[in-house]
Structure 1
């Protein structure tokens, strides 16, 4: 309020001023246009919700200076709060009355000693405000303490959880190591038993083969003497004509062939021809060089490259299995990847009639697996501690110099190393494209 009220040493408390202005704004809206004080006629036209807010200062000044307007507002207050106005007129304050309403009623009705009533209400309001401030400060302190305790508790919980996670991880690692150690012990014991059995069998076979070899050697010596005799007779008959000589040579060749067949049978030698790749150790669940393919140069990504390589007689096609499957269908499980590529390689082996070896990385497996290899496809897994790349290099190295070898892998290191050993590297995408046509 711009100036202190009559008999007041200080302006009305803000809450009291807002209350009397609100009452006056309500009365102002119910007055006729002729009775509205001149300074407030523009404000009287405002919306009831805006009247007290926008016309606060003019209304307060009018109440201070216009006794008739103030008394009109006081009559409205008296109608609304008759008991309060009556008690103040008698010089008493109702025990349950709010300090703001007491001060507002005293200011408007002006009973005897009303300035003291306003000051008393001011004191009550200040005391309540101070108590509220102290309460708010106490609440702030309690909230801060609670937040600190919660943060401490959260940190402690996280620390305990981290310790628990660490303990669980160590326990799992120890269990894994124990399991691995037991597996290695069982594997070593099984391998030792196999080696003992193989040693005994090899000793027995060696003894039998030695006796058979001595017997066959005696037979060969006898046949050789007979052949020498026939040869001598052939020389003597050379004068008799070319036909006799050819006849005797054929007899000699037949004798040698019979001797070789008998020796092979006595030594129990295999009748089928093994290949160099069969002698490369791995974990099994099977002519012209590639440098001259073809006369015109082909890029590594040329679709015709693999077709022309497959046309080479006696080609050995070595495939890096997981390199191809993880390029073509990585979303499948390892078992499904192996099944899919081996099915395609079976058809390719039948069509191209080449030697096919598919190598998988044994480190990808949790244990031995059963793989049904298609006819004409050799399947090999790298041994523990060996990657598939090293097994592929050993397969290439085992082949005789000059044999046509093609290695399917998109691994740059594998491609460079097999190229230096005389093999032709082929990207995995070309094989995937070729299998898609099969």
Structure 2
């Protein structure tokens, strides 16, 4: 569509001739619409035809152009007629028939007066000031109508609230009348109760006087009973003093008898100790540097390890294990894979061995007992890291099971030495029990390790 606004010197001259006439004050809706139309048309104007203050505004996003550059756009429209004519041509093209009507100075009856006033301000036909003034009157009329409508709405709301308050007040008044009737009824009942209570009070006072007389009589009797009680108490205390004296004599006799028994027991233990020292001297026994399990390890195991002390378990109760490990010179023997596969079988065999041996090292360090852990040789791996101090690690030989090696270790121990075997294998438990060892379940050791 061609630009309906003539861009000739005559039109510019008309604008120059009217430049001495001050710009009309646009109603706010008209001013906002003028800015919005101009902001929307800015990108279609070549950059070299835009005023310098608006070149940066033209680069804004559409929703920010009118909001951030509104003042600059309004100022350029008022001060630069050539820019206004250039942008008006594009705006009128977009307006279509309404733009043509505005150029002819006609205001269609169905058109928005604000839109007409905005187009008239930009195109400036012969009667554009009248169109702007008419739009202002329409806007003011609409504002006044909106104010009147709002006042009517508020008045209606106040009337509605007043009617509601009146209904509420009526309901409250009915409630108060009902409450007053109920209070009057309760007051009558209270008066009747007060008369009844007065009669009861007089009767109670009479009974109280009789009770006071009876209390005085009972006090006299209590005084006599207290005197008799005091006399009886003195007699009982005298008997108690005699009994305490007799008890002191008995305690002294018992203490003397206990001293005699302690002297006899000490003499017996001293005699046994000296006899043991004399027997050791007579047999020329030197302190043993190796334990019986060390000889079994040398003979039947592929890999002997260093010896250290540890602690054992009983059944599945870790408390029983603590009791057995507290015995002097206890020896803890552990069926390795029986324990690891029950407690942490999801790990690899190497991780199972490492975890068990590390835990037994902690027990050995805590108790100072001898600890031996036995694994089946079929799963043996070479290059096993050194065991913790106090833990002996053994692998059964080819053709021999860990159960057989455990029974061999138990048989190698002297009769009377406490040996604790940890295994949930029933055959192992029965076999070591026949040789005097204490069998415990694997759960007892696992619970003891988890506690550590």
TM-score grouping bracket, smaller chain normalisation? 0.3 to 0.5
TM-score, normalisation: structure 2: 0.38
In the superposition, the TM-score normalised over structure 1's length comes to 0.39
